[in-house]
């Protein structure tokens, strides 16, 4: 055994280490759990007398330390060759790390999330609906007559005619989709993109976002609608002056538009009204028993006021300098 130890000592000393792979081979050769040279010697110790075991035990332990020292030496050596391709391991650990940039939430999404939160607080359910709609959900079931201008090719993006498949022109189609599948009472909110063939300007775009809300139950009245709109506006703006103006929508009766007083002028922000009995009939809800209100708000309009902006195009041209300013809350 003594002779063997002498050879092993030389072997440890002369083992040529240039790469990390060499270092790993070296470690396994001597200390590998199954066939490491020193590991085997330790096993052999069990078979010799106690007297010899003490002496050889000490010597083998020394060898083990020798191997560990050599491993440590190469591990801490900065210029060890990293791999066979000869790449130097030459990083400088003192250079500051590259920070990961975290984006911010888009301002329209911030407002969308805020509105969802406001309505979840008063028991509304949030639902989504398809942006590609058919004529029935977008127009017919909402009591929009066949010659209504919004059915015109000039105003609506039709994907195909007969059958009429189109990009929804408003989120009111969600009312129909939801009411067809559920029985009252319900309070529902939905927010999404709508499309109209409009010229892009500071106030309009061919696509914008709408929030649609509706509430159907027994004995729902116009004062419930007013209260809800008031709650939405004060939650968003704090104290604000609003007014209800009589208006017309085919799917509500009576109908109104809501204006908000902002920078000494009245700005229209939403359409609303009591759901027309014809609409309820179209989705098999008895208008003698149930009534309800509905409203639709333009998110871009609201956001211009909330962020005091003049031009909605800023929300869509992806200017990172603008977008970066928004934190996740306002």
Binding site for ligand DAH (CB under 6 A): 170, 172, 212, 249, 252, 271-273, 294-296
CB contact at 8 A, 165 and 132: yes
Which residue, 118 or 272, has its beta carbon nearer to ligand DAH?
A: 272
- The two tokens of residue 172 are 């009111």
Q: State the minimum distance, in angstroms, from the CB of residue 288 to ligand DAH.
A: 20
For the purposes of burial, counting CB atoms within 10 Å of the CB of 294, is it exposed (0-12), middle (13-18) or buried (19 or more)? buried
Positive or negative, the CA dihedral 268, 270, 274, 278 is positive
- CB atoms under 10 Å from CB of 3, counted, come to 7
Count Cα atoms within 13 angstroms, Cβ side, for 64: 14
Residue bearing tokens 């892009």: 200
Give phi and psi for 37, each to the nearest 5: -60, -45
Q: State the minimum distance, in angstroms, from the CB of residue 190 to ligand DAH.
A: 10
Q: State the minimum distance, in angstroms, from the CB of residue 104 to ligand DAH.
A: 29
Nearest to 274 by CA among 291, 250, 257: 291
Q: State the minimum distance, in angstroms, from the CB of residue 238 to ligand DAH.
A: 25
Which residue, 228 or 304, has its beta carbon nearer to ligand DAH?
A: 228
Which residue, 37 or 297, has its beta carbon nearer to ligand DAH?
A: 297
For the purposes of burial, counting CB atoms within 10 Å of the CB of 326, is it exposed (0-12), middle (13-18) or buried (19 or more)? middle
Which residue, 70 or 196, has its beta carbon nearer to ligand DAH?
A: 196
Q: State the minimum distance, in angstroms, from the CB of residue 258 to ligand DAH.
A: 10
- The two tokens of residue 218 are 């027994």
Q: State the minimum distance, in angstroms, from the CB of residue 283 to ligand DAH.
A: 14
The DSSP call for residue 21 is: H
- The two tokens of residue 309 are 């902006």
Q: State the minimum distance, in angstroms, from the CB of residue 212 to ligand DAH.
A: 6
- CB atoms under 10 Å from CB of 42, counted, come to 15
Q: State the minimum distance, in angstroms, from the CB of residue 273 to ligand DAH.
A: 5
Which residue, 64 or 170, has its beta carbon nearer to ligand DAH?
A: 170
Q: How many helices (H) and strands (E) does the chain have?
A: 11, 10
Which residue, 118 or 294, has its beta carbon nearer to ligand DAH?
A: 294
Which residue, 64 or 138, has its beta carbon nearer to ligand DAH?
A: 138
Which residue, 26 or 139, has its beta carbon nearer to ligand DAH?
A: 139
CA–CA distance, 323 with 330 (Å, rounded to integer): 13
CA–CA distance, 195 with 206 (Å, rounded to integer): 6
- CB atoms under 10 Å from CB of 90, counted, come to 8
């Amino acid at each position: 055994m003594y002779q063997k130890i002498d050879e092993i000592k030389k072997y440890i000393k002369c083992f040529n280490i240039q790469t990390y792979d060499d270092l790993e081979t070296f470690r396994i050769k001597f200390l590998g759990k199954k066939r490491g040279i020193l590991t085997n010697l330790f096993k052999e110790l069990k078979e010799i007398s106690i007297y010899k075991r003490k002496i050889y035990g000490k010597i083998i332990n020394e060898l083990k330390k020798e191997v560990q020292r050599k491993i440590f030496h190469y591990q801490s050596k900065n210029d060890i060759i990293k791999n066979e391709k000869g790449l130097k391991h030459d990083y400088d650990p003192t250079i500051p790390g590259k920070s990961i940039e975290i984006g911010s939430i888009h301002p329209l999404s911030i407002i969308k999330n805020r509105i969802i939160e406001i309505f979840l607080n008063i028991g509304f359910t949030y639902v989504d609906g398809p942006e590609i709609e058919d004529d029935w959900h977008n127009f017919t079931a909402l009591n929009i007559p066949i010659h209504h201008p919004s059915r015109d090719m000039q105003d609506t993006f039709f994907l195909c005619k007969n059958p009429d498949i189109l990009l929804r022109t408003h989120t009111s189609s969600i009312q129909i989709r939801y009411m067809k599948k559920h029985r009252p009472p319900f309070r529902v909110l939905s927010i999404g993109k709508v499309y109209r063939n409009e010229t892009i300007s500071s106030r309009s775009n061919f696509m914008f976002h709408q929030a649609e809300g509706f509430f159907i139950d027994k004995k729902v009245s116009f004062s419930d609608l007013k209260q809800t709109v008031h709650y939405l506006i004060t939650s968003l703006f704090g104290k604000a002056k609003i007014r209800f103006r009589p208006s017309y929508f085919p799917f509500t009766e009576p109908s109104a538009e809501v204006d908000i007083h902002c920078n000494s002028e009245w700005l229209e922000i939403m359409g609303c009204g009591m759901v027309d009995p014809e609409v309820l009939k179209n989705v098999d809800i008895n208008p003698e028993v149930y009534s309800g209100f509905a409203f639709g708000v333009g998110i871009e309009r609201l956001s211009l006021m909330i962020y005091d902006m003049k031009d909605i195009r800023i929300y869509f041209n992806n200017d990172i300098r603008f977008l970066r300013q928004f934190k996740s809350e306002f």
